[in-house]
Structures are given as C-alpha cells and as structure tokens.
Structure 1
Amino acid sequence: MAIFAADALGGHGDTTEAEAFPDYARAFAAIEASPDQMLYVAERGGEVVGTFQTMVTTSLTRRGSSAMIIEAVQTRADLRGKGIGAAMIEFAIAEAKGRGMRLVQLTSNALRRDAHRFYERLGFRASHLGFKMALK
C-alpha cells in the first residue's frame, strides 16, 4: 500500500498504518473473488514499481458490449518517465483486445495534467465529464 500512500495528490486516505490493513485485506479478497476484476503489479528487480486494476463491465449501450475499466494506476514516483506506466497500460489494452472488448476507459483526477498528457500519448481521448459523490 506504500505506493498509494505516497500519492498526496490522490487524496484517498491511503496509509501504511497497521490499523488500515484489514480494510486493504477485505478489498483484496473482494477483487480476488470477482471474475470481472484483476489486480496487477509491475516488478523490477524484485521490487513493486507500479500497479493497476481492471474491471469488466457489460452494459446495454454499444449493443450490449463489454468494456474494460482501468483503475488505480500508480507508478512509483521515483521511477516515473521510465516506461513502466506505458507498459502497464499497453498490457491492459492488449488484455481487453484479447477478450473482445470494444472499449477501454479510465478516469484521472482533474488535477493530474501530466497523467492526462500521458494517457493522450497512449491514444486515449478526453471524451466525457465524470462525477463522483463521496458516501463516507
């Protein structure tokens, strides 16, 4: 969880404090139990250097097709710009194509201008406006 806790901009309240471990363990168990979710880590020299999660959702739009959502993309701050993030996203896109998805989508914090340019370089286009409502 250190890779998420180091992200001050995300503002998700992630931490490496021991009392938070049960929350992360519950989330991991839910992801692991779902056939529509996958959690990935990128390693270099035996160290975790990045992570992302994918979720598959099927909708009545696009003629009932499925889409892959890429979420929680993080590259260790000291290794950004080294191709790790691009490799992770390209892997996710290849997985989606291999599974016959018609769409890959993701959201990015509105303040992350560098991330937006990164995703655009990889072929993503800012096409929608997203909304969120915190419930806790």
Structure 2
Amino acid sequence: MQSSRGPVVTTDITIREAGRGDLAEIIALFASDTVGGHGDTTAAEAFSDYAAAFEQIAASPLQTLYVATCEGEVVGTFQIALLTSLPGRGSSSLLLEAVQTREDMRGRGIGERMVKWAIEQARARGAAKLYLTSNMTRVRAHRFYERLGFERSHFGFRMPLK
C-alpha cells in the first residue's frame, strides 16, 4: 500500500520459525503467486505433499522455515538453508529461498524485514555468503534485492525432474 508520501511501513511485524499450524497460510501465499510457476495450490488433496515437505524441513538442523506475522496473521514467509562446500576452504553459504509477502501487504517493509533477518542469520551462523535466486521475470524483486545490497553474480540453470 502506498500513500502520497511513499510506502506505508508496518513496524509490528514478528518473524518466527513456522509451525505446522501456519502451513495453510503459507500454502495460500505460494498458491496466489502466478509468476513463480510452481503449480502451488490450496486444494485439499495437495495438503499432504506440503505437510511432508514441512516435516522434512522442520527435522533438518540445516534448514529453517520462517513466517512474518502481523496482528496474528501470516503476511510473509521465507526459508533458509546452510550449505557447506569445499571451495572457499570449506566455507558455508546461506541460501535464502521462497521469499514471499502476501500481495495485499506488499510495500510495507515486510520483505525488507524478512531479508534483513536472513542476513542476520547468515552472519550468526558464520556464513561467508548469502545466496538467493529469483525468477527472471521478477524485475521489481530484482531491484528490491539490489537495493538491499545483493549483486547479480551467476547465471543459473535448472532441470525439471517431475
């Protein structure tokens, strides 16, 4: 939401680890995203797939799924994963994944709060780098990430397996 003086900033945002009770709201965030092309849906028959993925993430010591809440409602989500590799003398990188702000809440600083939270987590975990990927069609998101200090660095490839 924009005012005539710029974006309306919401300051009463809480970022916390997601719980199973948040799953329906998280799924709704992804299902409403028509750009991502992930085929997410709120259909009841798909819930077990999401629940299984949630349990796998929750059981991993290297991954965490977060939600941003405002007045008790989930208004955003993101996931982080810590990766350690041999290049860089065994340094770790934090992967920031699945950043999503509820459409009616965009422009209020929620995405910025979530990304800055992830940056803090990367530093706290000793990561040498923070990575994220973004769909090439998300031009506004690219400007957003660049404004927060991210640099375009790699050319990505993917291979759908399902």
TM-score, normalised by the number of residues in structure 1:
0.99
After superposition, residues 1-136 of structure 1 pair within 5 angstroms as 1-136=27-162
Q: Deviations over 1:14-50 (max 9, x none)?
A: 0100000010011001001110000000000111000
Structure having greater relative contact order (Cα 8 Å, sep ≥ 6) = 2
| Paired positions, count | 136
| Stretches of structure 2 lacking an aligned partner (at least 5 in a row) | 1-26
What secondary structure is seen at the aligned counterpart in 1 of 2:122?
helix
**RMSD value over aligned CA atoms?**
0.5
Report the Cα distance in structure 1 between the residues aligned to 2:151 and 2:65, rounded to whole angstroms: 24
TM-score, normalised by the number of residues in structure 2:
0.83
Q: Offset at 1:98?
A: 1.1
Report the identity percentage.
62
Which amino acid in structure 2 is aligned with residue 17 of structure 1? Answer: A
What secondary structure is seen at the aligned counterpart in 2 of 1:38?
strand
- Greater C-alpha radius of gyration: 2
Report the Cα distance in structure 2 between the residues aligned to 1:124 and 1:87, rounded to whole angstroms: 15
Q: Offset at 1:100?
A: 1.1
Report the Cα distance in structure 1 between the residues aligned to 2:109 and 2:148, rounded to whole angstroms: 11
Report the Cα distance in structure 2 between the residues aligned to 1:11 and 1:102, rounded to whole angstroms: 31
Report the Cα distance in structure 2 between the residues aligned to 1:126 and 1:81, rounded to whole angstroms: 23
What secondary structure is seen at the aligned counterpart in 2 of 1:109?
coil
| Stretches of structure 1 lacking an aligned partner (at least 5 in a row) | none
Give the structure 1 partner of residue 22 of structure 2: none
